[in-house]
Amino acid sequence: MTRRAIILVLDGVGIGEAPDAAEYGDAGSNTLGNLARAVGGFDLPNLTRLGLGCIAPIAGVEPAQNPRAAWGTMRPASAGKDSTTGHWEIAGVHLARPFPTYPHGFPAQIVSEFAERTGRGVLANIAASGTEVIARFGAEHERTGRWILYTSADSVFQVAAHDRVVPLDELYAACEIARSILVAPNDVSRVIARPFTGEAGAHRRTAARRDFSIPPPERTLLDVLAERGIVRMGVGKVDDLFAGRAIASVHTADNAAGLAEIHRALDALHGGLLFANLVDFDQLWGHRNDVTGFYEGLRAFDSALPGIEGALREDDLLFLTADHGNDPTTSSTDHSRERVPLLVAGSRVHPRSLGERFTFSDLGVTVADWLGVDFRDHGVSFLAELLAA
């Protein structure tokens, strides 16, 4: 197998409200469109040359006369608007209901069982940012040894502990216990260990975070490739989103490190799939409504694009897309229910409109088709459109 497919997910970079956005409270959300207007127009020359401006009106991004990529959009078919749902849908899994969220904290019976089975009490149990909750409860945690439990707008059960108070092994074991407790209807997408260090007033999270995800309920593109012995490589949080099933990832601290690992993977991968996620758009800028940071992140990615394109071989297809929206210009700090952009580049690609796809799964089916695998559970391949002269 010499063919390679590269799926590069720009986490949270949506391109306009999905048809059912109002049902999620996201009417008017448009991550790229609203952001471009907020900054007075984008300067993204490499994405423009690929064909970003052909997808939808974006201030500062003109439709390319001779785009280098095929272009389109994909609308979400699964219920929900989080990273797990989006990545699973790309890989062929459709969810009938969204993962549960807990804006007012977790139910008392969940919290009490977690405390009893782990042997430690619980502080907080609120929806808050990680830095905020550690600043508020860190000193009390150090005095009492109780877990700091919190969530966010995402479907996550997060457990923070000082590395001087709770050994990492104990924190990870507690998260495994939480994962066993959190079954339907409280089947949160991810349990996250959040170790921190430092002194009161200057606590900071460490790089020893670990995610304990719910496994996909049915077979995925990754499972099918594994059955056929086709290599799967990940960069970023992709393996966490699939509960480590059929893929391993190199975890990265930020987008810059992620781009460096993508280059290393392209050097090392002789054939198969590279599935990468650049999370800073969502984690650092979307959730914090940081318009300036988000745009600067897009500019940095745009500057890195020629290097990625230059690393492509004749038998490569590069898919640029997203998993949901996270519009930093709205009052919400939550994900937004949006269409996602689709750009497909490679020497074999004949640039043309791919239209609006009715599920993210069309991308996964197209990857399977390119890699010679029969996987058509939930999508329609557009490979013939890409390759047709």
Residue with the bigger pLDDT between 153 and 196: it is 196
What pLDDT was estimated at residue 154? 87
Tell me how crowded residue 271 is: count the other CB atoms within 10 A of its CB: 15
CA distances (Å), 74 to each of 160, 320, 331, 379, in order? 36, 12, 25, 11
Which has the closest alpha carbon to 159: 185, 178, 144, 182? Answer: 178
What pLDDT was estimated at residue 389? 77
- Spatial separation of the C-alpha atoms in residues 92 and 367, rounded to whole Å: 11
The domains located in the chain, with CATH, are: 4-97+214-387 (3.40.720.10), 108-213 (3.30.70.1250)
- Exposure on the CB side of residue 17, measured as CA atoms within 13 A: 13
What pLDDT was estimated at residue 306? 98
- Spatial separation of the C-alpha atoms in residues 284 and 257, rounded to whole Å: 15
For 281-294, the pLDDT digits (tens) are 998 999 999 999 99
What pLDDT was estimated at residue 376? 80
What pLDDT was estimated at residue 347? 96
Share of the chain above pLDDT 90, in %: 94
Which has the closest alpha carbon to 157: 224, 107, 216? Answer: 107
CB 148 within 8 A of CB 176: no
What pLDDT was estimated at residue 373? 95
What pLDDT was estimated at residue 153? 84
For 72-82, the pLDDT digits (tens) are 999 999 999 99
Is the pLDDT reported for residue 378 higher than 90? no
What pLDDT was estimated at residue 190? 93
Is the pLDDT reported for residue 1 higher than 80? no
Mean pLDDT value across residues 38-49:
98
For 196-229, the pLDDT digits (tens) are 999 999 999 998 888 899 999 999 999 999 999 9
What pLDDT was estimated at residue 50? 98
Is the pLDDT reported for residue 30 higher than 80? yes
What pLDDT was estimated at residue 250? 96
What pLDDT was estimated at residue 339? 98
